[in-house]
Amino acid sequence: MKFTTISNSDPEKFVSCRVGLEFANYFEDLGEVLNENGIYGLSKRGIDYQDPNFENYSKGNFIVVPITPPRSNYYDSNNDDESSYHLLPDLVLAKHRWENEIVISISQAFVCSGDNQKAIERFDRLFSHSLYLPAQVIVIDMPATKETQKVLANIINERLKTNHSQRLFLFRVGLTPFTNRLLNQSSSRQQSKHVTGGGGASSRHNDKSDSDTIMITNEESSTESGYGQCSSQSSSTDQDPLLGGWEGWNHFRSHLVPDHRIGICLLIDNDMENEDIEDTNRWKGEPIRMVVMSADRFTFTKGFKNTMRPAGGIKEFIKMIAVSNSMMTSFVVQSRNDCDAREQLDCLSGFCDYLQFEFPDFMRAWDDALLDPLQPLSNNLDSNTYNIFEQDKAKYSKYHEAMLEALGCLLARPESRYRTRFTLMILGAGRGPLVDAMISAIHKLKVRGKIFKIYALDKNHSSIVSLKYKKLMDWDIFAPTIETEIIASDMREWMPVDKADIIATELLGSFSDNELSPECIDGTWRFSTSQTISIPQSYSSYLAPICSFRMRQELQRASLIACNQNSFDKIQVVRLRNYYLISDPKRLFTFEHKRLDMVPLEGGNRREAILTFSTHVDSTCHGFAGFFSAQLFGKVHISTNPSTKTPTMESWFPVYVPIEEPFFMPAGSSIDVKFSRKETDDRVWYEWQILKPKPSRIHCKDGVAASMSKII
């Protein structure tokens, strides 16, 4: 097997689009398994490991191994001493091999009811030993019942408080709910026996059971696979039914601290040919760091190469999962120790290569990271920020289109036939990309006999230096047809002699008005007429409830870093990837700039609205995603709303509007949220509150936690 070394022991990189094997049974000597003479018993099949093509036989990057032997060997019921535990010793491998090549699986975990202290201590012993080992990723079976979920969650929460390593703790969750899975379990088990011919792992241990234990594995596999099965004790009580699938995970994570180290190891336990699309899409909002498929979840593609591929709808599903998790998902083939899974490994390796080729993303480092919104009115941007924004070709292409239409409309007016001079203003010019777009639009129209005066205004004295340099090097050559003048001023205080024919700004924020575009453009009434054209003409904010455990985790981390500051009262800019839209976005606030000459009314930019959202499937609301759309001019629009998003435009990320208490939304239910935009003479802020189903507190009340300053 070919192994990839992960530098700096980074667990996030460990699971980033890698391939692994999961073995069903415990190994006495991992060193022998991972030695240079081969792995997975391939040497027994006569493979020449000196063959230069050996790397193509299987391209797995790591292996997943149980921390204990099979269930019957794990615990000697006649001996309570710790020496009766059979656990992996750390000295069987060098530290770097543990960190780069091994995932520990507590797949034979035992958790019992709250009054069975012995069973709890057994699991805690396993978990403590897994923390002792240098492995960077630990996989733990999610409990099968509500009672055992709470017990395990309490243990995990306590351990995370005192363990400050950055390793990942992944909980194995089956894709299919137990209620559906158990109906077919018996027939599936019979098919498995027919295919494998029995034997294998099942011959390694008997079916001895502990009367005081409950197996918490979520897997469909029978005891032949080495993973055990849910005991009748855990499935017979009506008071505590079996949980599985998304519903089981949703209940389990409600008891977990939203630590950023927690994730999901998702077991694909069906071919996904008849899955409901919304049930499937819910997984986009979960931190899935590993996807596990048994060897029989693959099929051969008919044709020339007869290549192997994931069966049914699995391929499209795991592609969706990888993209929504920013490629921080690994793929694992689950197989018995004596089976050959090289073709399945090659299939997944090719799939990872495809993902990395098909979805390159130089901005992936920003995915799901909480960022404070810019306040360009009160704070000056630096050159790096300007440079990032100027890379967005899609945005400036749209502005160029809008300027073409606006200039065409201006020149088509009857009075323009007799005019020779026109005044164009770029307000908040930055380093001049909109000036470039305006000059390009004028040239494309091939206007003759007219003079265009372009004012490029900015309050940032450092960017004024850049504008003057650009005027000297690039823009002066177009004189006298196109004249440019650089102005260092606040647009709200500037008093030019000329009246504007066109005013273009790029003051929009991720939530439409959150960078105070309305307040800035209101100040242009002094040098506007009833015919002045504004680019943009109007813009609206949009809001939608989302399910995103990743956002909850990031907020938890931000709260710890910020100490006393309340992260739930701050709207954050986020390049959202790991989220599920519970309901389609709805329009929130709209601002129009059709008559710039109108004197703005005091408090005219205050807004308040109540929006109602409904859900088609069970979900949990972790807050809201905010988007915007804008009419630049005529038919030219830009948008971050998922349904109308401008392709390849990356200047604006969505915003995340947090709530302090996530709440469950049953299928068919609805929520009401009240959102307000408030202002005083010197600042603007948002307030939001859940009204239904259960009223929440008012978030960001009076703008104490976060506000936007009107003062430079």
Mean pLDDT of the chain: 83
Distance in angstroms (rounded) separating the CA atoms of residues 115 and 692: 38
Class of domain 383-531: alpha beta
Mean per-residue pLDDT, 209-233: 31
Q: What is the DSSP string of 143-159?
A: PSSHHHHHHHHHHHHHH
197: exposed, middle or buried (Cβ count in 10 Å: 0-12, 13-18, 19+): exposed
CATH topology of domain 11-46+55-70+86-182+242-359: TIM Barrel (3.20.20)
Q: How far apart are CA 371 and CA 652, in angstroms?
A: 12
Quick one: pLDDT at residue 365?
Answer: 85
Q: Which of 23-32, 104-113, 212-221, 548-557 has the least mean pLDDT?
A: 212-221
| N-term to C-term CA, the chain | 61
- Which DSSP string do the residues of 678-695 spell out, in sequence order? EE-SSEEEEEEEEEESS-
| Whether the predicted pLDDT of 303 surpasses 70 | no
Pairing between strand 451-458 and 168-174? unpaired
> What's the mean pLDDT in 332-336?
84
Bridge partners (DSSP) listed for residue 215: 110
User: Could you give the C-alpha distances from 258 to 41, 250, 664, in angstroms and in order?
Assistant: 40, 12, 16
Look at residue 362 in the predicted model and tell me its pLDDT. 75
The token pair at 52 is 């230069």
Where does 91-239 show beta strands of DSSP type E?
102-106, 137-141, 168-174
Token code pair at residue 446: 């091939």
pLDDT mean over 180-201: 40
Q: How many angstroms separate the CA atoms of 506 and 671, rounded?
A: 34
**How far apart, in whole angstroms, are the C-alpha atoms of residue 282 and residue 622?**
13
Q: Tell me: pLDDT of 286 over 80.
A: yes
Whether residue 26 is predicted with pLDDT greater than 90 in this model: the reply is no
Give the mean pLDDT of 33-60. Answer: 41
In CATH terms, is domain 534-709 a member of 2.70.160.11?
A: yes
Known active-site residue 506: yes
Residue 534 tokens, joined: 């504004």
Order of strands, edge to edge, in the sheet holding 708-709?
607-614, 670-679, 683-692, 708-709
Q: Could you tell me the two tokens for 56?
A: 């193509």
196 vs 539, which has greater pLDDT? 539
3-state secondary structure of 263: strand
Longest dimension (CA), the chain: 105
Q: What is the pLDDT of residue 217?
A: 37
User: Can you tell me the distance from the alpha carbon of 428 to that of 475, in angstroms, rounded to the nearest whole number?
Assistant: 18
The percentage of residues in the chain with a pLDDT greater than 70, rounded to a whole number, is 79
Model confidence pLDDT, tens digit, residues 81-124: 544 457 888 888 888 888 888 999 987 555 444 456 777 788 88
Instruction: Kindly tell me if the per-residue pLDDT of 558 is higher than 50.
Output: yes
The reported pLDDT for the residue numbered 389 is 92
CA distance 662 to 551: 11
**Residue, of 367 and 273, whose pLDDT is higher:** 367
The DSSP output letter for 281 is H
pLDDT at 85: 57
Residue-wise pLDDT for 129-141, tens only, equals 999 999 999 999 9
646-674 pLDDT, tens per residue?
Answer: 999 988 999 999 999 999 999 999 999 99
Q: Which residue has the tokens 């980033």?
A: 16
pLDDT in tens, 673-708: 999 999 999 999 999 999 999 999 999 999 999 999
> Is 195's pLDDT higher than 80?
no
pLDDT value, residue 474: 96
Q: Per-residue confidence at 537, pLDDT binned at 50, 70, 90?
A: very high
Mean pLDDT, residues 71-76 taken together: 46
> Where are the chain's structural domains?
11-46+55-70+86-182+242-359, 383-531, 534-709
Task: State the alpha helices, DSSP H only, in 75-116.
Answer: 95-101
Specify which residues 503 forms β-bridges with: 425, 534
Predicted confidence (pLDDT) at residue 71 exceeds the cutoff of 80: no
Strand-pairing partners, residue 371, are: 573
CA distance 378 to 473: 30
Which of the residues 506, 519, 554, 679 is marked catalytic? 506
Question: Do the domains 383-531 and 534-709 sit in the same CATH topology, yes or no?
Answer: no
Flag the least confident range among 209-223, 426-440, 537-551.
Answer: 209-223
Q: What's the pLDDT at 27?
A: 65
Contact 698, 687 (CB under 8 A): yes
Checking if the pLDDT of 336 tops 50, the result is yes
Section 32-55 average pLDDT: 42
Report the alpha-carbon distance of residue 641 to residue 541 in Å, rounded. Answer: 9
Respond yes or no: is residue 343 known to be catalytic.
no
Label residue 68 by pLDDT band (50, 70, 90). confident
CB atoms within 10 A of CB 271: 15
**Choosing from 101, 401, 515, 650, which is the catalytic residue?**
515
Confidence of residue 28 (pLDDT cuts 50, 70, 90): low
- Letter for the amino acid at 40? Y
Of 194, 26, 204, which Cα lies nearest the Cα of 107? 26
Q: Contact 595/395 with Cβ under 8 angstroms?
A: no
